[in-house]
Amino acid sequence: MRQIRQLHPGDHFPPTSQALDYPNGLLAVGGDLDTKRLLDAYRRGIFPWYDEPQPVLWWTPDPRSILLPEELHISRSLRKTLRRDAFNLALNTRFEQVMGEFAQLRGDGLGTWIGDDMLHAYSELHRLGYAQSIEVLDRDGRLVGGLYGVAMGRVFFGESMFSRVSDASKVAMVALVHIMRQGGYGLIDCQVETEHLNSLGAHNINRLDFERRLAQTIGVEPASGAWHLPASCGDLL
């Protein structure tokens, strides 16, 4: 029976092949969220996901959900939304506010899944230019949807997306793929499968295939000037 590795300061991650089958992909417990450890984790396809005050839990699920930029699916109804130009787009102007959307009390009353430690850690990654956010605003400038994640090489590790009005998170994903195509990015990591992401073209691959794709793309610099967005949603089509 596999044992979960307890991480202490300075410890390296165990091989991803040692991750548990149940819960799917749990690799290690403990450690911290300092920048060096987080970047090392992402380079290996590992990510943190836990509820404070639990210790940090590190995951590498199998299968892994990914979206290839060239395989984005835009439904007929989403195309109509984009053509109506009902939203404004912004990039990295409200990073902490986007993260704050996931730090609200959950419906089950059990607390948050993004606490102060996560917020601080990813805000530091944002300051260093790794963590990025895309914001979807209504015509009055209110934040109604968005996503955030970590960009390294030609990989974007999607962390979370949210929507307060219909289609807002999907618009954020279309905007992300627009950037990915401009920069020559080869992979969007969606972590775990959801119907929402599948509707946009995401699909599962096994861990080994994911790690091969990761190795091929994470060391390659994206094209310069990729991280900008058009003012109009319609220009994303």
SS3 track for 27-51? EEEECCCCHHHHHHHHHCCCEECCC
pLDDT at position 70: 97
Residue 177 has pLDDT above 80, yes or no: yes
Mean pLDDT calculated for residue range 217-230: 95
d(CA 164, CA 44): 33
Q: Which domains does the chain have, with CATH numbers?
A: 5-62 (3.30.70.3550), 65-236 (3.40.630.70)
Q: What is the pLDDT of residues 1-34, one digit of tens each?
A: 678 999 998 899 999 999 999 999 999 999 999 9
Confidence label for 52 from pLDDT (cuts 50, 70 and 90): confident
Q: Measuring CA to CA, how many Å separate 234 from each of 62, 76, 81, 84?
A: 36, 13, 9, 7
Q: What is the pLDDT of residues 103-132, one digit of tens each?
A: 754 444 444 468 889 999 999 999 999 999
d(CA 17, CA 130): 27
What is the token pair recorded at 31? Answer: 């450690």
DSSP string for residues in 185-222: --EEEEES--HHHHTTT-EEE-HHHHHHHHHHHTTSPP
Confidence label for 45 from pLDDT (cuts 50, 70 and 90): very high
Q: Which helix (H) or strand (E) holds 163?
A: strand 155-163
Q: What is the pLDDT of residues 132-154, one digit of tens each?
A: 999 999 999 999 999 999 999 99
133 vs 232: which has the higher pLDDT: 133
What is the reported pTM?
A: 0.95
How many other C-beta atoms lie within 10 A of the C-beta of residue 10?
7
Q: What are phi and psi of 94, to 5 degrees?
A: -140, 45
